Amino acid sequence: MNMDTRILDAGKEYDIKAAGEILRRGGLVAIPTETVYGLAGNALDPTVSAQIYKVKGRPSDNPLIVHITSMEELPPLVTEIPEAARKLAEAFWPGPLTIIMKKSPLVPKETTGGLDTVAVRMPSHPAAQAIIRAAGVPLAAPSANLSGLPSPTVFEHVCDDLTGRVDAIVNGGDCAVGVESTVITVVTEIPRVLRPGGVSVEQLRAVLGTVEVDRAVLEKPAENARVSSPGMKYKHYAPKADITIVDASLEEYAAFVNAQPDATALCFEGEEKLLSCPCVPFGRAEDALSQAHCLFAALHTLDEIGAKTVYARMPRKTGVGLAVYNRLIRAAAFRVLVPRDEMIVGLTGQTGAGKSTVSKILAERGCTVIDCDGVTRDPALYSGACLEELQKAFGRDIIEPDGRLNRRLLANRAFADEASAATLNRITHPVIYSRLCAEIDARRRAGARLIVLDAPTLFEAGADRLCRRVVSVVAEESVRMQRIMQRDGLTEVEAKRRMHAQQTDAFYADRSDFVLDNTVSVSETELDMMLAALGCAHTGEAN
Ligand SMILES: CC(C)(COP(=O)(O)OP(=O)(O)OC[C@H]1O[C@@H](n2cnc3c(N)ncnc32)[C@H](O)[C@@H]1O)[C@@H](O)C(=O)NCCC(=O)NCCS
Ligand SMILES: Nc1ncnc2c1ncn2[C@@H]1O[C@H](COP(=O)(O)OP(=O)(O)OP(=O)(O)O)[C@@H](O)[C@H]1O
């Protein structure tokens, strides 16, 4: 194929019209959407669908998503609109969600990969909407890359793959979401996610209640598995480099990667300083949306710099992180390496939420627990220069005449305002961090396999980098306040001060592999679910 490919501008009305005209005449145009660039053509014309498969080099049993711009365009495409689909459309359209329904005869089987269902999406990208309207027909638009290569999220990558193969490419800059849409089928009795994407499973459950997640989202599908959704084929996202995901804490990851010859690190932003090899960052560790946004461009960069052996950080499987994991595990051909046998789990959350209560149950189940509050109560911890600094910052009288630290006085002064709390952290966290490393080493040497670090200030102390997984315990503010007033004999003012020195629920949710809500209680079932999610279902046997 070597045709003239026009370059059009998403910001120019004349160019949008031209794209619409080409599509109406049965041509192919690569268009920007909020997820990734799409290779668009008339979804209702079987010869156009066949042409899309041909250009992409994609097997024709891989169904295409049909893009529309308004709810009025949906009824002709489907036999019925189930209640679940209506609710989802209301909540998430226009946006990165594709809904699978029973197809009407209007949609050719060539578009649906031979299936009697059709996948429909209403994109939110203004240029995508304008082009569909200009075309006057629904558009089939798989990702605008050659089959097997990472999906394009920037204009230049579309040009690399499709110049000379399509009639036009519309330049709309970078795609905001960066991974393909979430695909959910409402044809099954219980709605089921077939591909995770920009709308998270948690968001879908908030609208529909029960939602299943197809096994293929996390596991390698059988070679001859029937494909019921775009993107389920496992070779879909592979760059040229050999990628292996390393399931480890940041410290363990850095130690492992730095010991490998000729490695390239696919890490999170800011981690480069710990790594002695070439690094390609893909988003921030605590921000799955930024990872989704950057992932495919990072995979392209790996090819551009000629990376051969790549070790990738393990994304969290929560929220949009599940979509990031789903793409990365395919790019890695399902290779995951665990460099250390023992697993360190950080257990954190707000004061009074119930960390100690949960860690007690985990200890009963055979985990080795390190209590960080206990560590700070060791009179030997704050000594020498550290103690001198504490006294300088918070007053000489925080040390009693008998030499003991007056913890309540220190707490009242240190939690008085944000700046004082920051000073407390700056002085105490370096010594706490070194002590925690020593405590972990001792437990490792004693043969512990599952070590729980019960640390209220896990992130502030930088101790999260020692943990392969993080669990947060949260509870409503009024409940927490009552609990700590009762437990520690604090006044309301003292309790509030301490609570205000801490983080919000959202802060913990973004940084955790599992969140336990202990406003009322934490059941054994939830603990089982948590241990399963962490990958340590048989706790007792793990130790
Ligand atoms: C200020 C100190 C002496 C007060 O001691 P006190 O016996 O009153 O409280 P205790 O240590 O039992 O802590 C109770 C709770 O307060 C909260 N808390 C403690 N330190 C902090 C902090 N720096 N920031 C926010 N909350 C904190 C935690 O939820 C903790 O569980 C003590 O909390 C301390 O040394 N804090 C600084 C070190 C730290 O961050 N500790 C947390 C363990 S990693
Ligand atoms: N579900 C619950 N119902 C009632 N009381 C609870 C519940 N969970 C915990 N508590 C009580 O609330 C208090 C605070 O719990 P816990 O000490 O486990 O909190 P924490 O998160 O470790 O707090 P801190 O960070 O202050 O150490 C304790 O006295 C505990 O017994």
Amino acid at 322: L
For residue 76, whether the previous peptide bond is cis, meaning omega lies within 30 degrees of 0, is: no
Residue 347 Cβ < 6 Å to ligand 1: no
d(CA 395, CA 403): 14
Residue 79 annotated as binding site: no
What's the confidence (pLDDT) of residue 22? Answer: 98
What's the confidence (pLDDT) of residue 542? Answer: 39
pLDDT at 53 over 70: yes
d(CA 368, CA 436): 13
DSSP-derived pairing of the beta strands 97-102 and 182-185: parallel
Q: Is the CB of residue 536 less than 8 Å from the CB of residue 514?
A: no
Average pLDDT, the chain: 93
Two tokens, residue 271: 């981690």
Mutate to test the pocket of ligand 2, among 483, 500, 519 (most ligand atoms within 8 A of CB): 483
d(CA 28, CA 36): 16
Asked if the domains at 242-337 and 343-542 fall in one CATH topology, the answer is yes
Fold of 343-542: Rossmann fold (3.40.50)
Q: Is the CB of residue 376 less than 8 Å from the CB of residue 429?
A: no
d(CA 485, CA 321): 37
Ligand 1 atom nearest 351 alpha carbon? 29
Ligand 2 atom nearest 349 alpha carbon? 21
Mutate to test the pocket of ligand 1, among 413, 457, 499 (most ligand atoms within 8 A of CB): 457
φ, ψ for residue 294, nearest 5 deg: -100, -20
Alpha helices, DSSP H, located in 41-191: 46-56, 83-92, 126-135, 155-162
User: 6-217 in CATH: which number?
Assistant: 3.90.870.10
pLDDT digits (tens, 9 = 90+) for 312-328: 999 999 999 999 999 99
Average pLDDT estimate for 229-242: 68
- pLDDT band of 225, cuts 50, 70, 90: low
pLDDT digits (tens, 9 = 90+) for 203-219: 999 999 999 999 988 88
What's the confidence (pLDDT) of residue 234? Answer: 46
d(CA 336, CA 528): 24
Ligand 1 atom nearest 376 alpha carbon? 35
Residue 357 annotated as binding site: yes
CA 363–ligand 2 middle distance (angstroms): 16
Ligand 1 atom nearest 432 alpha carbon? 44
What's the confidence (pLDDT) of residue 61? Answer: 76
Ligand 2 atom nearest 518 alpha carbon? 1
Average pLDDT estimate for 166-181: 96
Strand partners, 169: 7, 30
pLDDT at 191 over 70: yes
CA 22–ligand 1 middle distance (angstroms): 65
Residue 233 annotated as binding site: no
pLDDT digits (tens, 9 = 90+) for 136-150: 999 999 999 988 788
Residue 456 Cβ < 6 Å to ligand 1: yes
Fold of 242-337: Rossmann fold (3.40.50)
pLDDT at 539 over 70: no
DSSP-derived pairing of the beta strands 368-371 and 343-349: unpaired
Beta-strand runs (E) in 165-250: 168-171, 182-185, 192-195, 212-213, 242-246
Q: Is the CB of residue 161 less than 8 Å from the CB of residue 152?
A: yes
Q: What number of other Cβ atoms are within 10 A of residue 79's Cβ?
A: 13
- pLDDT band of 106, cuts 50, 70, 90: very high
What's the confidence (pLDDT) of residue 99? Answer: 98
Contacts of 22 (CB under 8 A, 6+ apart): 28, 29, 167, 168
d(CA 421, CA 501): 6
Amino acid at 265: A
Average pLDDT estimate for 349-362: 94
Residue 484 Cβ < 6 Å to ligand 1: no
Pocket of ligand 2 (CB under 6 A): 349, 351-357, 373, 456, 473, 483-484, 487, 518, 521
- pLDDT band of 168, cuts 50, 70, 90: very high
- pLDDT band of 231, cuts 50, 70, 90: low
Amino acid at 167: D
Residue 359 Cβ < 6 Å to ligand 1: no
- DSSP 8-state class, residue 476: -
Percent of the chain with pLDDT strictly greater than 90: 87
What's the confidence (pLDDT) of residue 285? Answer: 97
**Coil, helix or strand at residue 170:** strand
Residue 428 Cβ < 6 Å to ligand 1: yes
pLDDT digits (tens, 9 = 90+) for 396-406: 999 999 989 99
pLDDT at 538 over 60: no
Domain boundaries, the chain: 6-217, 242-337, 343-542
Amino acid at 530: M
pLDDT at 200 over 90: yes
Average pLDDT estimate for 277-298: 97
> Percent helix, strand, coil in the chain (nearest 5)?
40, 15, 45
Residue 352 annotated as binding site: yes
Residue 273 annotated as binding site: no
Residue 369 Cβ < 6 Å to ligand 1: no
pLDDT digits (tens, 9 = 90+) for 432-447: 999 999 999 999 999 9
Question: pTM to 2 decimals?
Answer: 0.91
Sheet of 514-517, strands arranged across? 368-371, 450-454, 343-349, 469-474, 514-517
Average pLDDT estimate for 32-53: 97
Mutate to test the pocket of ligand 1, among 359, 360, 372, 424 (most ligand atoms within 8 A of CB): 424
Question: Nearest residue CA, atom 2 of ligand 2?
Answer: 521
Residue 355 annotated as binding site: yes
- pLDDT band of 533, cuts 50, 70, 90: confident
